[in-house]
Amino acid sequence: MVHSVNSSGGPPNPSVHVALRLARDHHLPTEGVLLQQLKVSAIEKVKHGDNFSSGLVALYSLAIAASCNNPANVSYKEDRIDLIEILQEKLTEEIKHIVNTTFPLTNYYQVSLDVLTLCVLERELPQDSVQILCEAAMKDKFKYGKEFSVDTGAVAALALRCVKGKPNTQCTFSALHKVLNQILHQVKDDGIIGNIYSTGLAIQALSANSDLVPSVQWNKTKSMYRLLSAIREGSFSNPQAASQITPSLECRTYLDVRELNCTADRSNLTVTTTSPPPTTQAVPITVEYNIVDGLTHSFNDAVNVSVLAGSPLIRVLEKARDLYPDRFSFNVTSTQWGPLLTTVRNLTASTENRTYWQLLSGTEPLGQGIGDYKPKDEERIVANYTQY
Ligand code: B12
């Protein structure tokens, strides 16, 4: 995460800042640089009217507060913005959208982040927001397709925990009970909760609600060790992925942002330079790439391409496009997780219509995106245009 701040050149990552702040050891010069980048970037986004989704505003606010700065008063040169007011407005829009259409403007992961942030920072929550989040939990809305999203449930459980006990929040008792049970249902024998990338957030949710989690139902040590072994296997080389497990590994949760004592920090983190992985002879592999319009069935096209072993999936897409530009053209959007596949041929993902390009290996959904997933020889990768 520290290296990503100094080398990325891309937009600053608020989730990485929260993680660095919640860690016990610090590299204060890097945290200072990232804090400044976040402030400038927030101001630029507001000034230029760039896309600034509610959850992203929440993460920026949480990050700035985690450095003991006031997100309601972010300034750079002669510009000044109030991120809390913006967050309250964005959450109000999400609530209105849910009331009108039954779906949030973005998704329930972000609505939960919004409620969590306003609560942790002890700011006023828009009317009905807690009630709406409770209802969503009770009506099983934390889903993409048919699957319960552990990540979403985990952030919702943190938000509900935070607001529990405040006036007019009686609904949180049954909502928490429901969501925690759904998360506990996803605990696997090896300690993974959901998948490896939701495990960190799930540990936070279960730890923050430990009084409601029967100890026979979850072995925290096992989940923590599973994360540590996954780090050694290289599953967390993406800084965004690393940022979502760090709080749990430091035995903290996002709720602890309100308790940070910045004056006590010491810059005691020794940053080691990672040596490049040993160079193995790169051999070519063959990957079948299949693009399917799963909604209106306007096309179903496949091609075999050859890439070097260890290449990320995006190389396969590029090869296919180079071979047949008309059939395999594609576009991506950069996100904190890496490139998100948004368009293939003439079909573009849309939040409004809740369509996206799902990635699969055969019939199994991939656990990573095109920037991180490394296909194997003879693997069949499917990009399927579908709805969530
Ligand atoms: C909501 C969500 C989605 C939605 C996003 C659209 C929407 N309007 O809601 C949909 C259903 C489209 C989606 C798709 C996918 N997702 Co998703 N998603 C999430 C979730 C639950 C919340 C994201 C969010 O809103 N974050 C908060 C906002 C403020 O941050 P943001 O960076 O602006 O959010 C955007 C990006 O995160 C982007 N996004 C969402 N998922 C993914 C996945 C990848 C690989 C990339 C590059 C970007 C991306 O969409 C967000 C909204 O615009 C996260 C959970 C998590 N722990 O982060 C998983 C998560 C990020 N997704 C994941 C995965 C694997 C995918 C898919 C690859 C699944 C698949 N097999 O097809 C696809 C992406 C395929 C592609 N086309 O490239 C993994 C990523 C793990 C990793 N190491 O890479 C996560 C962590 C879930 C998990 N535990 O497995 N996702």
pLDDT at 8: 67
Residue 90 is predicted with a pLDDT of 98
Q: Give me the architecture of the 2-264 domain, per CATH.
A: Alpha/alpha barrel (1.50)
Backbone φ/ψ region at 102: left (φ over 0), alpha (ψ -120 to 50), beta: left
Asked whether the beta carbons of 203 and 218 are under 8 A apart, the reply is no
- Answer positive or negative: Cα dihedral of 139, 145, 148, 149: negative
Average pLDDT of the segment spanning 74-100? 97
| 58 Cα–ligand 1 center, Å | 17
Q: Please state, in angstroms and rounded to a whole number, the distance separating the CA atoms of residues 368 and 154.
A: 19
DSSP letter at 23 equals S
Ligand 1 centroid to residue 65 C-alpha, Å: 25
Beta bridge partners of 384: 292, 358
Q: What is the pLDDT of residue 278?
A: 67
Angle at 344 between CA 339 and CA 348, to 5 degrees: 85
Query: Does residue 279 carry a pLDDT above 90?
Result: no
Least confident of 281-285, 294-298, 307-311: 281-285
What separation in Å is there between the alpha carbon of 60 and the centre of ligand 1?
18
Reported pTM: 0.97
What are the structure tokens assigned to 367, written together? 């656990």
Separation between Cα atoms, residue 245 and residue 256, nearest integer Å: 15
Tokens 């990009």 -> residue = 383
- The best mutation among 107, 337, 351, 370 to test binding of ligand 1, ranked by most ligand atoms within 8 Å of the C-beta, falls on 337
Given ligand 1 and candidates 15, 50, 151, which is best to mutate, with the most ligand atoms within 8 Å of its CB?
A: 151
- Domain spans of the chain? 2-264, 284-387
pLDDT of residue 277: 67
Task: Find the 367 Cα to ligand 1 centroid distance in Å.
Answer: 10
Look at residue 146 in the predicted model and tell me its pLDDT.
Answer: 86
Query: Given this model, what pLDDT does residue 77 score?
Result: 94
Please provide residue 381's backbone torsions phi and psi, each rounded to the nearest 5 degrees: -100, 130
pLDDT digits (tens, 9 = 90+) for 195-247: 999 999 999 999 999 999 999 999 999 999 999 999 999 999 999 999 999 99
- Match 């600053």 to its residue by tokens: 12
Sorted by sequence, the CB contacts under 8 Å of residue 338 that are 6+ apart come out as 238, 240, 369, 370, 371, 372
Whether 144 is in the pocket of ligand 1, judged by its Cβ within 6 Å, is: yes
pLDDT confidence of 273, banded at 50, 70, 90?
A: confident
Query: How would CATH label the architecture of 284-387?
Result: Beta Complex (2.170)
Residue closest to 228 by CA, chosen among 253, 204, 200, 256:
200
- The SS3 assignment for 96 reads helix
Question: For residue 64, what pLDDT is reported?
Answer: 98
pLDDT of 280 above 80: no
Residue nearest atom 68 in ligand 1 by C-alpha distance: 369
Q: What percent of the chain is modeled with pLDDT above 90?
A: 94
Separation of alpha carbons 187 and 224, rounded Å:
12
Percent of the chain at pLDDT above 70?
98
